[in-house]
Amino acid sequence: MKVLVLGGVAAGTKVAAKLMREDQSNEVLVLNKGKDISYAGCGLPYYVGHVIEDKEELIVNTPAQYEKLTGVKVLTETEAVKVDVQAKTVTAKAVVSGEERVYSYDKLVISVGASPVKPPIEGMNLENVFFVRTPADAISIREVVDSGNVKKAVVVGAGYIGLEIAENLLLQGVRPVVLDMAPQVLPGFDMEMAAYVEDKLGDAGIPVVTGVKVTGLEGNGKVEKVLTDKRAYKTNMVIMSAGIRPNTEFLEGIGLEMFKGTILTDEFGQTNIQDVYAAGDCAMVHHAVTGKAAWSPMGSTANMAGRLIAQNMSGKSIEYRGTLGTAVCKLPGINVGRTGLTQEQAEAEGFEPVSVLTVLDDKAHYMPGAGNFIIKMIADRSSLRLLGVQVIGAGAVDKVVDIAVTGIMLKGTLTDLADMGLAYAPPFSTAIHPFVHALNVLRNKIDGTLESMTPAEYAAGATKGYKVVDTCKAASIEGAPFVELTTVDGPIDGLELEDNILLVCNRGRKAYLLQNRMKSYGYKHTKVLEGGIAFNNVEV
Ligand SMILES: Cc1cc2nc3c(=O)[nH]c(=O)nc-3n(C[C@H](O)[C@H](O)[C@H](O)COP(=O)(O)OP(=O)(O)OC[C@H]3O[C@@H](n4cnc5c(N)ncnc54)[C@H](O)[C@@H]3O)c2cc1C
């Protein structure tokens, strides 16, 4: 079988190598526009921050190494410019000489990835304005940072890449400011979780301004100022990470079904055109929960989809199980992770979402380095199906996320996933794993054992008509009466049985214990503030 693969980084090299492993008689040719193939795009921010020292580390395989390792042929700096699906040919242009050649195929894989969005504003060609997509980009950024002439940087875009770059600039002594048009950082997180992260970033030296649109860049040769619809920011450097767009313009008009320039694929990775497959950032997959077409421009998805379509092209029939939009990201002092549907997405998809936000120990509290996990867990109230998890914490958030991924992929309910005997020893976890603990709290909420107010409800003003009661370890909320749980042995002075009472403690647990006790003394309308003062800014 003669296979042409267009694009040779994550998805392309994965498809090509697997095709050869499936059948060594395959003839596989990769055409790649860029100079490097098989590089670690995900590692680029860490090269800028000197976490990865050598640029060679960014290149997983040179074309020569890859060819020897796999038996695939590679042509770099060769850009596909036209596809003829009737004749089964691709015309490609040598980037340096401009010379065009026609290549034929039995089967075609499109894995041309995506490119950073270049906003149509003045000043984009000024010096020290960068994107972050290729090793060459990261090398250029680091050279300028290492020159010592960069004190301030503006990062445009508060997604994972923008924030990772900001952290690595900070590591090198540069003061970053992150600007984003969206009302929150980290798309894919619910608003209150994103707001918490935004606060922590500010504390760590990465101020973020959301809801601000960059309108232009100014400077004399080098960039000096970023103009926005609110105010201007002086800077020595700009990193544009305001999203990506699939590199599919050259495919227009050939009959490929696309959505906003992204190629639609079925569960086998095949496009609507016979013998044409697509994978990676230029392709749509489907969502594992909703079944709808979904874009998952992630290295993880690119590699998985690549492997799968190579097997399907080789005669197997393996369905891609869908994406959950799973992501994990290291930020200064905290890590963040997410999977599945957010509360907002779950509502939009017609579920009846119920969520809980818990603040839990991430390992035995007496161990050095113990900290908190903030876990937001979302399930469907009627079916009890787990829909999504978001987690913030200094520790191994990826483990919490990965347990959730397993549960959601297997369509697990809260009952299915309860009481799992997850690994425990003090340096790693708590006796009831934080995931199971959060799940128990959510089950308590659903069956009415816990009556609570979410941070989102609290922020939206749901406390109107409630008396706030401070039940922290020590009095901590100015203007709120303090009640020590262990002293309560009947109705509490100043609190009537019919009062609406919001119980607030440090993290939520003590308030829950007090609620339980107060119910037994006849209090009818108490609520626990989820996350307590650890998560909410409580003012009376
Ligand atoms: C800074 C950064 C950090 C990231 N961190 C993570 C992370 O932590 N986790 C994660 O899962 N993902 C991460 N990603 C995303 C991940 O890198 C991408 O999802 C992945 O690289 C996509 O692979 P791809 O093969 O689809 O496309 P690409 O990597 O974009 O490769 C496409 C290739 O196609 C070539 N090409 C383009 N047009 C043509 C054409 N017409 N003809 C021939 N060749 C062409 C390009 O030159 C390029 O070499 C990160 C990305 C970046 C930039």
Task: Please report the pLDDT score of residue 38 as a whole number.
Answer: 87
pLDDT at 387: 98
CA 10–ligand 1 middle distance (angstroms) = 6
Token code pair at residue 102: 């026609």
Choose which residue among 52, 77, 298, 323 to substitute to test ligand 1 binding: the one with the highest number of ligand atoms within 8 A of its C-beta.
298
The pLDDT score that the predictor gives to residue 467 is 96
25-72, pLDDT tens digit by residue?
999 999 999 999 988 889 999 999 999 999 999 988 999 999 999 999
Plot region of 259 (φ>0 → left; ψ -120 to 50 → alpha; else → beta)? beta
Specify the residue with its C-alpha closest to ligand 1, atom 30: 113
CA distance 535 to 513: 19
Once rounded to an integer, what is the mean pLDDT over residues 210-231? 97
**Which pLDDT does position 60 carry in this prediction?**
87
Q: How far is the CA of 138 from the centre of ligand 1 (A)?
A: 14
Residue nearest to atom 53 of ligand 1 (CA): 133
Task: Please give the full DSSP string across 168-225, using - where no structure is assigned.
Answer: HHHHTT-EEEEEESSSSSSTTS-HHHHHHHHHHHHHTT--EEES--EEEEEEESEEEE
Q: Which of 5, 32, 324 to mutate to test ligand 1, by most ligand atoms within 8 A of the CB atom?
A: 32
Q: What is the pLDDT of residue 419?
A: 86
How many angstroms separate the alpha carbon of residue 104 from the centre of ligand 1? 25
Mean pLDDT calculated for residue range 458-478: 94
Report yes or no: 477 and 540 within 8 Å, Cβ to Cβ: yes
When pLDDT is averaged across residues 309-325 and rounded to a whole number, the result is 96
Give 318-332 pLDDT, tens digit per residue: 999 999 999 999 999
**CA distance linking residue 221 with residue 344, whole number of Å:** 45
pLDDT of residue 365: 94
Atom 29, ligand 1: residue with shortest CA distance = 9
Query: Is 354 or 61 the better-scoring residue by pLDDT?
Result: 354
- The closest-lying atom of ligand 1 relative to the alpha carbon of residue 298 is 19
pLDDT at 218: 98
Question: What backbone phi and psi angles, to 5 degrees, belong to 101?
Answer: -140, 155
Mean model confidence pLDDT for the chain:
96
- C-alpha of residue 113 to centroid of ligand 1, in Å: 5
DSSP assignment letter at 113: -
Distance 51 CA to ligand 1 centre (A): 21
Domains of the chain and CATH, by start: 2-39+58-113+245-313 (3.50.50.60), 129-242 (3.50.50.60), 333-447 (3.50.50.60), 452-535 (3.40.250.10)
What is the 393 CA–ligand 1 centroid distance (Å)?
28
Give pLDDT, residue 292: 96
Minimum-distance ligand 1 atom for the alpha carbon of 13? 25
Binding-site residues, ligand 1, Cβ < 6 A: 6-12, 31-34, 41-42, 44-45, 79-80, 111-114, 132-133, 161, 247, 250, 280-281, 297-300, 302
Read off the pTM: 0.95
Residues 426-454: what's their mean pLDDT?
A: 97
Indicate which residue's Cα is closest to atom 27 of ligand 1. 113
Catalytic residues: 42
SS3 per-residue string spanning 427-456: CCCCCCCHHHHHHHHHHHHHHCCCCEECHH
- pLDDT for 143: 97
Mean pLDDT of all residues in 190-213? 97
In ligand 1, the atom with minimum distance to the C-alpha of 279 is: 26
Question: Residue 245 Cα, ligand 1 centroid: separation in angstroms?
Answer: 11
Pocket test of ligand 1: the residue of 51, 281, 284 to mutate, having most ligand atoms within 8 Å of its CB, is: 281
pLDDT for position 9: 95
The tens digit of pLDDT for each residue in 237-279 reads 999 999 999 999 999 999 999 999 999 999 999 999 999 999 9
Residue 438 pLDDT more than 90? yes
pLDDT tens-place string over residues 385-398: 999 999 999 999 99
Q: What would the mean pLDDT of 196-216 be, rounded to a whole number? A: 97
Of 42, 51, 95, the one to substitute when testing ligand 1's pocket (max ligand atoms within 8 A of C-beta) is: 42
Element housing 358 (H / E): strand 353-361
